[in-house]
Amino acid sequence: MQATFPSLLNNEQFVDVTLACEGRSIKCHKVMLSACSSYFEELLSQNPCQHPIIFMRDLKFWEVQALVEFMYSGEVNVAQDRLPSLLAAAEALHIKGKLASETLFISNIYFVLNFMFNLIYC
């Protein structure tokens, strides 16, 4: 079962939401984003669109890609110098899991987050 969701993502099967950033995009599954992020859960539950496009204006594409990888596989590898911005993005999007809590604790990294304005289109 653990390999099923990443396979569905890689093959773009049954995708029903697109995350767009820096002129690039990733097609995902609403159920996966909602299960892993209370931010996405609230955003998607309030939008009746069948396949919304969410513009992640305050993030870099590599951050979105890494967070999607984490949500689908439970792990992600990033360079140490990129860790602070990835953790900030995870916190801002309320990503559930070990990425935010344990790494923040181990690294003693503290962030001041700006409110992220994301646009959503049908």
State the pLDDT confidence band at 121, using cuts at 50, 70 and 90.
Answer: low
User: What's the N-to-C CA distance of the chain in angstroms?
Assistant: 31
* Residue 102 pLDDT exceeds 50: no
CA–CA separation, 92 and 43 (whole Å): 13
State the pLDDT confidence band at 101, using cuts at 50, 70 and 90.
Answer: very low
CA–CA separation, 17 and 107 (whole Å): 33
* Residue 112 pLDDT exceeds 50: no
Q: Model-level pTM? A: 0.78
pLDDT of residue 1: 54
Please name each of the domains of the chain with its CATH number.
4-121 (3.30.710.10)
Highest average pLDDT, of 54-58, 71-75, 98-102, 116-120, comes from 54-58
By mean pLDDT, which of 80-84, 91-95, 100-104 is the weakest?
Answer: 100-104
**Phi and psi based region of residue 94 (left: phi greater than 0; alpha: psi -120 to 50; beta: remaining):** left
pLDDT of residue 100: 47
Give the number of other CB atoms < 10 A from CB of residue 92.
19
DSSP state letter for 101: H
CA-closest candidate to residue 8, choices 61, 100, 72, 55: 72
* Integer CA distances (angstroms), 3 to 11, 77, 88, in order: 12, 17, 27
CA–CA separation, 54 and 27 (whole Å): 10
